[in-house]
Chain A
Amino acid sequence: MKQFWTIFKFELAGYFKNKIFIGVTVSMVAALVILIFIPNIVSLVKKDSGNHAEETMQDSDNENKSIMLISSEDDELSAMAQPAFASAFSDYQVKTLNEPVETIKQQILDGSAECAFVLDSASSYTYYVNNLSMYDQNASIADMLLEDIYRSSAMAKKGMTQQEISDILNVQIQGRVTALGADQMKNFFYTYIMIFALYMVIIVYGQMIANNVASEKSSRAMEVLVTSAKPNSMMFGKVFASCLAGLFQLTVIFGTALLLYRFNKSSWTGNEIMDSFFNIPPYLLIYMLIFFLLGFLIYAFLYGAVGSTVSKMEDINTSVMPVTMVFLVGFFVVIFAITSGEVDTPLVKVFSYLPFSSPMVMFARICMSTVPIFEIVLSVAILIASVILTGILSAKIYRAGVLMYGNKPSPRQILKVIHKA
Chain B
Amino acid sequence: MNLTLDHIQKSFGDKEVLKDISFSAESGKAFGLLGRNGAGKTTTIRILMNVFPANAGTVFLDGRPIDYDHVSFGYLPEERGLYPKKTIIEQLVYLAQLKGLSKKDSVASVDWWLDRLDMSKYRNKRLDTLSKGNQQKIQLITALAHDPQIVILDEPFSGLDPVNAMLLEDVVKEEIAKGKLVLFSSHQMSYIEEFCDSIAIINQGRVAVTGELSAIKHAYIRDKLVVKTSDPQPILQDFGDMCSKSEQGDLLIRMKSPDDKQEVMKHLVENYDIDRVSVFEPSLNDIFVEYAGDSK
A78-86, A226-234, A301-309 - the one binding chain B: A226-234
Most buried by B among A10, A219, A224: A224
Stretch binding the partner chain, chosen from A1-9, A26-34, A54-62: A1-9
Report how far A233 CA is from B95 CA in the complex, Å. 14
- Whether A221 contacts B51 by the Cβ 8 Å rule is no
Size class of the A contact interface (CB-based, 8 Å): 10 to 19
Q: A196-228: contact bitstring with B at CB < 8 Å (1 yes, 0 no)?
A: 000000000000000000001001110111111
Which of A2, A14, A216, A225 makes the CB contact (< 8 A) with B100?
A2
Nearest-Cβ distance from residue B10 to partner chain A, whole angstroms: 13
CB-contact partner of B98 in A6, A216, A223, under 8 A: A6
Knowing A6-B98, A10-B94, A228-B95 are in contact, say whether A223-B73 is a contact too (CB < 8 A): no
- Chain B residues, CB < 8 A from A335: none
- Which of A219, A227, A403 has a CB less than 8 Å from the CB of B82? A219
Q: Is the CB of A223 within 8 A of B100?
A: no
Collect the chain B residues with CB atoms within 8 Å of residue A225's CB.
Answer: 98
Residues of A within 8 A of B99 (CB): 228
Check: B80 CB closer than 8 A to any chain A CB: yes
CB-CB < 8 A to B5: which residues of A?
none
Instruction: Classify chain B's interface size.
Output: 20 to 34
Tell whether, in the assembled complex, residue B80 and residue A7 are in contact, meaning their CB atoms are under 8 Å apart.
no
Q: Which one of B13, B46, B77, B86 contacts A224 once the chains associate, using CB atoms below 8 Å? A: B77
**How far, in angstroms, from A229 to B68 measured CA to CA in the complex?**
12
Q: Which residues of B contact A216 (CB under 8 A)?
A: 83
**Alpha-carbon separation in the docked complex, A60 to B100 (Å):** 82
How many Å lie between the Cα of A259 and that of B268 in the bound state?
A: 102
Q: Is the CB of A3 within 8 A of B51?
A: no
List chain A residues, Cβ under 8 A from B86.
14
Interface positions of A from 1 to 56, Cβ below 8 Å from B: 2-3, 6-7, 10, 14
Chain B 108-119: CB-based contact to A (< 8 A → 1; otherwise 0) = 000000000000
Question: Among residues 55 to 95 in chain B, which have CB atoms less than 8 Å away from a CB atom of chain A?
Answer: 73, 75, 77, 79-84, 86, 94-95
B73 touches A219 (CB 8 A): no
B94 touches A224 (CB 8 A): no
Contacts of B75 in A (CB 8 A): 223-224, 227
Q: Which residues of the partner chain B approach A221 to less than 8 Å between Cβ atoms?
A: 81-83
Measured CB to CB, the nearest residue on chain B to A405 is B79
Q: Within 8 Å of chain A (Cβ to Cβ): is B49?
A: yes
Knowing A224-B75, A224-B142, A227-B51, the reply to whether A7 touches B81 (Cβ < 8 A) is no
CB distance from B247 to the nearest CB of A (A): 34
Residues B81 and A227 in contact, CB atoms below 8 Å apart: no
A interface with B by C-beta (< 8 Å): 2-3, 6-7, 10, 14, 216, 219-221, 223-229, 403, 416
20 further contact pairs, Cβ within 8 A, besides A6-B94, A224-B75, A227-B77: A2-B100, A6-B97, A14-B86, A219-B82, A219-B84, A220-B80, A221-B81, A221-B82, A223-B75, A223-B79, A223-B80, A224-B82, A224-B142, A226-B51, A227-B46, A227-B75, A228-B95, A228-B99, A403-B46, A403-B51
Complex A-B, nearest 5 residue pairs according to Cβ-Cβ distance, in ascending order: A220-B81, A223-B77, A228-B98, A219-B81, A220-B79
